[in-house]
């Protein structure tokens, strides 16, 4: 079938794929949410989604590795691997017993993340959930983000409580579940 211009529609240079469509839809949804309820509340909503996805991803990796909990050595590797699988470019900049510092030059959301800071709660919650489930505690600090216009991300996952700024995450105690 041809468009009125005589060109087959399949040959037109239109940047529309399933991935582009889904990222555009997510950008529009988060933009609407930020406009209606504000950035802080939008981050809260995105955090709920991030926690759900974090639980699923954590379970997938633990099943694939045949472990009940990730050990400390596996944690940084799993977090960088999961980002690579969704087209992020996270690398470990520094790793100590107390923290893991990640550097990222490519967001999985691509340019659609720009000016959508609430989407960074996906990283915070997925990293925080997986780290706290394996280590008992995590605090995630989004020191720099592509969404804020920093050109790259610097994400610090603290594994021990301290005075650092960030969102705290704690291991869920399955014995307390009703």
Domain count, the chain: 1
Does residue 6 form part of some domain? no
* Phi/psi of residue 113, nearest 5 degrees: -80, -20
Task: Give strand pairing partners of 91.
Answer: 103
Q: What is the pLDDT of residue 81?
A: 98
Q: Which of 172, 71, 169, 72 is nearest to 125 (CA)?
A: 169
Task: Give strand pairing partners of 94.
Answer: 101
Q: What is the pLDDT of residue 4?
A: 62
Does residue 3 form part of some domain? no
Global pTM value:
0.88
Q: What is the pLDDT of residue 16?
A: 86
Q: What is the pLDDT of residue 72?
A: 92
Does residue 5 form part of some domain? no
- Across 53-65, b (16+ Cβ under 10 Å) vs e yields ebbebbeebbeee
Asked if residues 73 and 128 have their Cβ atoms less than 8 Å apart, the reply is no
Query: What's the rounded Cα separation, in Å, for the pair 167 and 97?
Result: 19
Does residue 32 form part of some domain? yes
Could you list the residue range(s) of the whole structural domain that residue 136 is in? 17-176
Please report, for the domain that includes residue 42, its CATH number: 3.30.1380.20
Low-confidence ranges of the chain (pLDDT < 70): 1-6, 174-178
Q: What is the pLDDT of residue 174?
A: 54
Does residue 47 form part of some domain? yes
């Amino acid at each position: 079938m041809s468009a009125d211009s005589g060109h087959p529609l399949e040959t037109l240079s239109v940047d529309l794929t399933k991935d582009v469509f889904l990222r555009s839809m997510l950008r529009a949804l988060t933009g609407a949410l930020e406009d209606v309820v504000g950035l802080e509340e939008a981050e809260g909503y995105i955090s709920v989604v991030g926690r759900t996805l974090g639980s699923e991803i954590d379970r997938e990796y633990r099943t694939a590795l045949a472990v009940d909990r990730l050990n400390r050595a596996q944690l940084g590797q799993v977090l960088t691997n999961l980002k690579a699988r969704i087209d992020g470019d996270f690398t470990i900049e520094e790793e100590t017993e107390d923290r893991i510092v990640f550097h990222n030059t490519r967001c999985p959301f691509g340019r659609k993340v720009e000016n959508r800071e609430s989407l960074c709660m996906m990283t915070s919650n997925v990293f925080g959930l997986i780290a706290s489930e394996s280590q008992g505690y995590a605090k995630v600090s989004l020191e720099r983000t592509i969404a804020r216009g920093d050109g790259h991300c610097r994400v610090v996952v603290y594994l021990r409580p301290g005075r650092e700024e960030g969102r705290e995450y704690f291991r869920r105690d399955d014995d307390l579940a009703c």
